[in-house]
């Protein structure tokens, strides 16, 4: 005899969100404590590096450096995402299929060309500051997004496309309503990789005068101050892990939505 499933009222409740068991929340709190608590860590670094007269980087506040770093990474990542997604859509359409090889080659060159070299070329043209860094980071972030956009769009089920066509959808509506939503988890995975890489790479932008979390690292390397290097590296590394986990959580949400 087959037992009927219990009614919804008798079914065990689904466990809700438990903040104290969420690693993302704890990491975010830890990052905030690290950024705002570094000034109080001066005695620790003084004891760790007794030979240093200035064991704590104090030329800029770390919260201000975090904001500047996030703005630079956000702007460059936005440019890379818009360009790469548009290029990925273009080369997967019949009109742009013949340009696929060229587009992939150009974006691969942008990934393999060292950002330092891009900065060296851009500085004489644009001067010191954030603009050369914006160009270098934008080029560096193209490839993961482009590859995943192409892969995601090509993995869309032909049955879904035929159903959309049977409903009278045109090419544009089919792209917006069917293809992009179904490819969103794969595209998001590429965005996650691109943004995470750019967070670490943006640190070198301080070599051309951009204000980032790489500033204490560069200053520490120039002045043989290992404490500065550790402080900058700790904040950059924690920020990269935090953003990677947050984007991973968003990717999982998109995958769950897609299955639903």
Q: What is the pLDDT of residue 97?
A: 85
User: Which of residues 255 and 137 earns the better pLDDT score?
Assistant: 137
Question: Which residue did the predictor score with more confidence, 84 or 23?
Answer: 84
Half-sphere exposure of residue 115: CA atoms within 13 angstroms, side-chain side:
25
pLDDT in tens, 76-131: 999 999 999 999 999 999 888 898 888 888 888 777 777 777 777 777 777 787 88
Residue 79 lies in a domain: yes
Is the pLDDT reported for residue 29 higher than 90?
A: yes
**Residue 233 located in a structural domain:** yes
In this predicted structure, which of 17-26, 29-38, 142-151, 155-164 has the lowest mean pLDDT?
17-26
pLDDT of residue 139: 87
141 within domain boundaries: yes
DSSP-assigned letters across all residues of the chain:
-PPPPPPTTTSPPPP---GGG-HHHHHHHHHHHHHHHGGGGHHHHHHH-TT-S--S--SS-HHHHHHHHHHHHHHHHHHHHHHHHHHHHHHTSGGGGGGHHHHHHHHHHHHHS-HHHHHHHHHHHH-SSHHHHHHHHHHHTHHHHHHHHHHHHHTS-HHHHHHHHHTT--HHHHIIIIIHHHHHHHHHHHHHHHHHHHHHHGGGGGGGT--STTHHHHHHHHTT-HHHHHHHHHHHHHHHHHHHHHHHHHHHHHHHHHH-
Is residue 38 in a domain?
no
CATH number for the domain that contains residue 237: 1.10.3720.10
What is the pLDDT of the chain when averaged over all its residues?
86
In a domain, residue 15? The reply is: no
Q: How many domains does the chain have?
A: 1
**pLDDT, position 9:** 44
Whole-number percent of the chain with pLDDT over 70: 90
Residue 190 lies in a domain: yes
The answer to whether the CB of 197 falls within 8 A of the CB of 240 is no
Distance CA 200, CA 24 (A): 19
- Cα–Cα distance measured from residue 258 to residue 134, given in angstroms and rounded to the nearest whole number: 33
Portion of the chain with pLDDT greater than 90, in percent: 53
17 band by pLDDT with thresholds 50, 70 and 90: low
Q: Name the pLDDT band for 13 (thresholds 50, 70, 90).
A: very low
Domain that holds residue 201: 58-259
Residue 63 covered by a domain? yes
Q: How far apart are CA 89 and CA 93, in angstroms?
A: 7
| 188-239 tens-digit pLDDT | 999 999 999 899 989 988 888 889 999 999 999 999 999 999 999 999 999 9
- Identify whether 248 is part of a domain: yes
pLDDT value at 12 more than 50: no
Q: Is the pLDDT of residue 14 over 70?
A: no
């Amino acid at each position: 005899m087959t037992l009927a499933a219990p009614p919804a009222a008798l079914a065990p409740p689904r466990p809700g969100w438990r903040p104290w068991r969420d690693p993302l929340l704890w990491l975010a709190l830890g990052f905030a404590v690290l950024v705002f608590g570094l000034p109080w860590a001066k005695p620790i670094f003084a004891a760790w590096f007794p030979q240093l007269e200035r064991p704590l980087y104090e030329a800029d506040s770390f919260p201000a450096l975090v904001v500047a770093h996030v703005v630079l990474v956000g702007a460059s990542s936005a440019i890379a995402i818009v360009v790469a997604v548009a290029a990925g859509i273009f080369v997967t359409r019949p009109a742009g299929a013949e340009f696929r090889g060229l587009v992939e080659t150009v974006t691969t060159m942008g990934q393999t060309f060292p950002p330092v070299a891009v900065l060296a070329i851009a500085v004489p043209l644009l001067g010191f500051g954030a603009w050369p860094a914006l160009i270098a980071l934008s080029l560096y972030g193209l490839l993961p997004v482009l590859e995943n956009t192409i892969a995601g769009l090509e993995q869309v089920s032909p049955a879904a496309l035929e159903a959309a066509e049977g409903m009278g959808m045109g090419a544009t509506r089919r792209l917006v309503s069917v293809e992009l939503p179904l490819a969103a988890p794969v595209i998001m995975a590429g965005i996650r990789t691109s943004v995470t890489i750019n967070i670490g790479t943006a640190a070198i932008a301080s070599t051309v005068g951009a204000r980032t979390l790489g500033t204490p690292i560069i200053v520490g390397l120039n002045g043989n101050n290992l404490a500065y290097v550790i402080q900058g590296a700790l904040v950059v590394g924690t920020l990269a892990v935090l953003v990677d986990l947050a984007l991973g959580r968003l990717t999982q949400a998109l995958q769950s939505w897609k299955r639903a």
